[in-house]
Each structure stands twice: as C-alpha cells, then as structure tokens.
Structure 1
Amino acid sequence: MTKIDLTFPEIGLISGTRALIGAGAALLLADRFNLNQRKAIGWTLLLVGAATTIPLLMNVLSKRQP
C-alpha cells in the first residue's frame, strides 16, 4: 500500500480543482444560460480546473512513500 501525506491546504486545493471541473462540465450541459454564455463560462471553468490539476498531481505523486 502506498502512503501519501497531504496537508489540509493541499486537500482543499485538490477539492477546489475538482469543483471547478465539475462546475464547468455542469454549465456545458445546463440550459440556464444562452449557448454562448454557457460555453464561455463552462470551458473557462473546465480548463482552469484541469490546468491547476497538473501541478497538484505532480506534488501529490512526489510525496508517495512505499
């Protein structure tokens, strides 16, 4: 089993990126806004969430302990 020690701020950042990706995907699928607004907001949230995931993932993987 692999053990990874994370701090509370790191866990918060990870869940924040998940929330951004989820909110972006939800807006892309929702019908609340007109199509152009929905696409702009949805893609922005989705891409920001995905872009911030990469450094966090590298940080988490660097902390793995066998």
Structure 2
Amino acid sequence: MRETHLSLPELALIAGTRGMAGAGLGLLLADRMSDGPRKAVGWTLLLVGVLTTVPLAIQVLGASRSSDSADWSDYRPDLSHTYTG
C-alpha cells in the first residue's frame, strides 16, 4: 500500500478544488436558475476546479517529494578523495 502524507493546507486545497468542480457540475445539471447565468457560473466553477485539481494531483501522486525522499540514515559521504596538499 502506498502512503502519502499531506499537510492541512494541502488537504484544504484539494478539498476546495474538488468542491468547486462539484458545485459547477451541480449547477450545470440543475434547472433552478435562468440558463445564461447558471451555465456561465457552472462552467467557470467546473473548469477552475478541474484545472486546479490536476497540478495538485500530480504533486501528490507524482514523484516523491525531496523532504520525503531524503533518508539521512542511509547517507554515506564520499570519503575516497585524499588531500595531497
């Protein structure tokens, strides 16, 4: 199982962008408001939500972060160089 650690601001950003996309989709599927404003706001929310979710998802699911990948217990300095001063 893969484990991912998120900070609270990262989690809030992901939840916010997913919420925007969901609200936009909900407005597009609803018929409570007049067509013009509903579709404009719906498409805007959906597109902004999707376009901001993609980079966040790549960051979280993509390559490991430098702070997570640096395991200092495995660090071995290169001591093969000699001083010939």
Q: Could you state the TM-score of these two structures normalised by the residue count of structure 1?
A: 0.89
The alignment of Structure 1 onto Structure 2 pairs a total of residues equal to 65
Give the superposed CA RMSD. 1.6
Higher RCO by CA contacts (8 Å cutoff, separation 6 or greater): 1
Cα displacement (A) at 1:30: 1.3
Larger radius of gyration: 2
Q: Could you state the TM-score of these two structures normalised by the residue count of structure 2?
A: 0.70
For residue 33 of structure 1, give the secondary structure of its aligned residue in structure 2. Answer: coil
- Who is 1:39 aligned against? 39
Q: Which has the higher strand share?
A: 1
For residue 31 of structure 1, give the secondary structure of its aligned residue in structure 2. Answer: coil
Percent identity between the two aligned chains: 55
Where in structure 1 do 4 or more consecutive aligned residues deviate above 4 Å? none
- Who is 1:54 aligned against? 54
Q: Which has the higher helix share?
A: 1
Contact 1:28 1:39 in 2 (8 A): yes
